[in-house]
Amino acid sequence: MLLLNAHPLGLEVSVFAAQSNDPASQVCGRAVLGSMEDRTDLRRYLSKLDAVTFESEFVDTAKLARCMPQNLHVFPRLEVIEGIQDRLPQKRLLDRYKIPTAPWREVSNKRDLSEVENVFENGFVLKQRRFGYDGYGTFVFKNGKADAKVLLKSNHGFIAEGFVPFKRELAISFVRSVSGAFVTLPLVQSVQVNSRCFSVHGPISHRGIKPLTQQFKKLMDDLDYVGVLAVELFDTGKELLVNELAPRVHNSAHYSIDALTCSQFEYHWRAGLDLPLPRVELKSKGFAMVNLLGEGGRVKLSYKPMGHLHWYGKFENRPGRKLGHITTLDETGKKALERALSWRKDFQL
């Protein structure tokens, strides 16, 4: 989606991909095949670029830094990605800016885990520090007791968070450009099934979002953050707590391709290349997005003209895997969601 949105801007864009049938390779005339593990591949690729950005934060920043030519423009900066890709420095960053988040503790061993059981009596969520996504690496212990074997599931360490009895989950994305221009995408509500995003709709209003936006603007200015920053939130009914950050374009803003006059992907390129950031403008009063999550069956897509289909061209259909998404527009976010959910029934995944 980043590539598809770069081409109309006149950018000569390429992708470094593991395989020719990767979704990104399929839509890019300049797909360069190589391995992120291989320094020679990386050096060769990076030496030809003016600028580089990432679709995933799970990159080896130290290795990348060693393989990069000195003046390559990287957005967001590698140090920023490093501070967010690991949940421990991410939590510390939020604490430093007094941005409300679920109470947390570092968990490296059995002793830490039993301490956590005492502190979070009303349940906790153990999250591996690195490489967790779509619920992988997230373990919920609602009764506040954990089997220590869970610690064997990752060798990157964990954090534990107190279980938040949230009323709903929200998300928002901020964009900051090289020269400091800043825009806020609409606040949205997301629904997760099995810790995985199922649907998003909006726009949503919440009185807590204005002060939170100011806090994030300060944080992004201080970090010299460039690009899209996605923020997942818990609405407890009393306050907004940050669940997690992603230093990239994000599933919770995929609606923007069809619902905004400038998508999150276009904003990301504009921000990184210091092009003007357009005012955020909705194409309709309400919008929704429903993920097409794999069910491991034979796929049948629906071409009913109810909205927009975005199919990623992934070859493996695993249960829960994000294979694509659909978006709809309507008078309200709720109506758009109803329409998307009824259309969703017509897909076989």
By CB under 6 A, name the binding residues for ligand AMP: 102, 125, 127, 132, 135, 138, 161, 163-164, 169, 192, 195, 232, 243-244
What's the one-letter identity of residue 320? G
Shortest distance (Å) from residue 161 CB to ligand AMP:
4
Structure tokens at 152: 């064997």
| SS3 assignment, position 146 | coil
**Smallest distance, ligand AMP to C-beta of residue 123, A:** 8
Provide, rounded to whole angstroms, the least separation between the CB of residue 101 and ligand AMP: 9
Start-to-end CA distance of the chain, whole Å, equals 21
Least CB distance from residue 130 to ligand AMP, whole Å?
A: 12
Minimum Å distance from CB 145 to ligand AMP? 16
Residue 246 or 329: which CB sits closer to ligand AMP? 246
Q: Which residues pair with 124 in a beta bridge?
A: 141, 162
Q: What is the closest distance, in whole angstroms, from the C-beta atom of residue 91 to ligand AMP in the complex?
A: 11
Measured distance CA(89)–CA(105) in Å, rounded: 12
Residue type, 168: R
Measured from the CB atom, is 102 or 259 closer to ligand AMP? Answer: 102
Q: Residue 57 or 161: which CB sits closer to ligand AMP?
A: 161
What sections of the chain are H helices per DSSP? 2-6, 23-26, 39-46, 61-67, 78-85, 87-96, 110-119, 209-223, 256-259, 264-272, 333-344
User: Are the beta carbons of 203 and 282 closer than 8 angstroms?
Assistant: yes
| Tokens linked to 20 | 């020719």
The nearer residue to ligand AMP, 231 or 329, going by C-beta atoms, is 231
Closer CB to ligand AMP, residue 166 or residue 182?
Answer: 166
Q: Which is closer to ligand AMP, CB of 161 or CB of 266?
A: 161
